[in-house]
């Protein structure tokens, strides 16, 4: 099956700075890559996703980039705010095991005011 690696495991930034979280995947057939945000004590929630026919997608302060050749994708958050503090999970699907999402281990992002 798919293997998703996520880095870094923890990330601290100053309010207003940018944050970048990177993920790699192993199955070249994977074609769907969502990102989830989980605040403390809450459920994971989808914040942005990208499909393999697109190289970049933006939604206000959040962007995701995908490099299919290198099999990696990244989440970019600009102008970070304290409320961006949470655990972020990347995931991949669409490969040999259809319907399964393979999650990275998560990144704890802390934004200091």
Partner 1 sequence: GAGVSQSPSNKVTEKGKDVELRCDPISGHTALYWYRQSLGQGLEFLIYFQGNSAPDKSGLPSDRFSAERTGGSVSTLTIQRTQQEDSAVYLCASSPRGETQYFGPGTRLLVL
Binding residues vs partner 1 (CB under 8 A): 32, 34, 42-46, 49, 89, 93-94, 97-106
The least distance separating partner 1 from the CB of residue 51, rounded to whole angstroms, comes to: 9
How many angstroms separate the CA atoms of 35 and 55, rounded?
Answer: 15
The least distance separating partner 1 from the CB of residue 35, rounded to whole angstroms, comes to: 11
User: In terms of CB distance, is 24 or 34 closer to partner 1?
Assistant: 34
Which residues are bridge partners to 74 per DSSP? Answer: 22, 65
The least distance separating partner 1 from the CB of residue 106, rounded to whole angstroms, comes to: 5
Count Cβ atoms below 10 Å from residue 103 Cβ, excluding itself.
18
The least distance separating partner 1 from the CB of residue 91, rounded to whole angstroms, comes to: 8
* 8 Å CB contact between 89 and 106: yes
User: In terms of CB distance, is 40 or 70 closer to partner 1?
Assistant: 40
User: In terms of CB distance, is 15 or 39 closer to partner 1?
Assistant: 39
User: In terms of CB distance, is 78 or 100 closer to partner 1?
Assistant: 100
Q: Which residues of 26-61 are buried (b: 16+ CB within 10 A; e: fewer)?
A: ebeebbebbbbbeeeeeebeebbebebeeeeeeeee
């Amino acid at each position: 099956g798919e293997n998703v690696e996520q880095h870094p495991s923890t990330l601290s930034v100053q309010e207003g700075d940018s944050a970048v979280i990177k993920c790699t995947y192993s199955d070249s057939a994977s074609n769907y890559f969502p990102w989830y945000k989980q605040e403390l004590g809450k459920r994971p929630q989808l914040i942005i996703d990208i499909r393999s026919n697109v190289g970049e997608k933006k939604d206000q302060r959040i962007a995701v980039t995908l490099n299919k050749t290198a099999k990696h994708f990244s989440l970019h958050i600009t102008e970070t705010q304290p409320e961006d503090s949470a655990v972020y999970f990347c995931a991949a699907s669409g490969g040999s095991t259809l319907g399964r999402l393979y999650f990275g281990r998560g990144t704890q992002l802390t934004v200091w005011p």
